[in-house]
């Protein structure tokens, strides 16, 4: 956000649309769900870690083994205090389509419409569904989604980034060498946050945007 040098009309339109959405009251039948993904490199210690003890921090040897990377899909409902997190081998169009299908048909099967916030990654578009599923299944999934795209270079408007940053600090800020461990850690962390119904409180409004960013507006 703070490296912005100019804000076009398209940027403003998308920003305003999202800020209007974030001001709406909670409605479980029309949930606002913010979605993003991140990669996590699996790094395994070759030698054991010297544990933390009074007067001394934990010590890691410089040698380690790389075990590849995994993708982590994150979908969070800020006002509902719910999140769905899934580890996959990759983040292809097919991976994205199946993740959203689960979101629609399992996690939010009672919702009339999911208002889905996401960025402009090339997998985040309708073609992912039509290339993965039949026309009938694709239309069934898409009939329950209203897409809200962040502006280009406007990922700060996606609250999934806030959830990912919290996950990084509280769950992933160490070496994890095995996929099974990664999944277990994330499942425990997300289950606890869901149990506590941890919400994200968004306070930045259109008025704030105009006050802070109007000097960057261009026609």
Q: For the whole prediction, is pTM greater than 0.85?
A: yes
Rg (CA), the chain: 20
Alpha-carbon gap, residue 43 to 180, rounded angstroms: 13
Integer distance in angstroms from the first to the last C-alpha of the chain?
A: 19
Residues, the chain: 219
**Digit-coded pLDDT (tens) for 79-107:** 999 999 999 999 999 999 999 999 999 99
Cα 6–Cα 118–Cα 16 angle in degrees, nearest 5: 45
**Digit-coded pLDDT (tens) for 183-205:** 999 999 999 999 999 999 999 99
Domains for the chain: give ranges and CATH numbers. Answer: 9-200 (3.30.420.10)
CA distances to 86, 173, 197 from 67, rounded to whole Å, are 19, 17, 33
> What is the residue whose two structure tokens read 């916030």?
117
Look up residue 7 and give its DSSP letter.
B
């Amino acid at each position: 956000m703070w490296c912005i040098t100019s804000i076009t009309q398209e940027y403003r339109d998308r920003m305003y649309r999202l800020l209007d959405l974030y001001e709406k009251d909670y409605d479980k039948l029309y949930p606002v769900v913010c979605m993003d993904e991140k990669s996590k490199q699996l790094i395994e210690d070759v030698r054991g870690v010297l544990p933390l003890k009074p007067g001394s921090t934990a010590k890691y040897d410089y040698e380690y083994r790389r075990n590849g990377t995994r993708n982590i899909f994150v979908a969070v409902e800020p006002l509902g205090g719910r999140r769905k997190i899934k580890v996959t081998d990759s983040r292809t169009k097919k991976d994205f389509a199946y993740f959203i299908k689960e979101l629609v048909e399992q996690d939010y099967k009672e919702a009339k419409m999911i208002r889905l916030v996401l960025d402009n990654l090339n997998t985040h578009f309708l073609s992912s569904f039509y290339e993965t599923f039949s026309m009938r299944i694709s239309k069934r999934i898409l009939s329950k989604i209203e897409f809200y795209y962040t502006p280009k270079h406007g990922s700060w408007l996606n609250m999934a980034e806030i959830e990912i940053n919290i996950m990084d600090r509280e769950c992933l800020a160490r070496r994890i060498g095995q996929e099974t461990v990664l999944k277990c850690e994330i499942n425990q962390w997300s289950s606890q946050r869901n149990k506590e119904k941890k919400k994200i409180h968004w306070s930045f409004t259109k008025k704030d945007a105009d006050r802070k960013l109007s000097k960057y507006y261009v026609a």
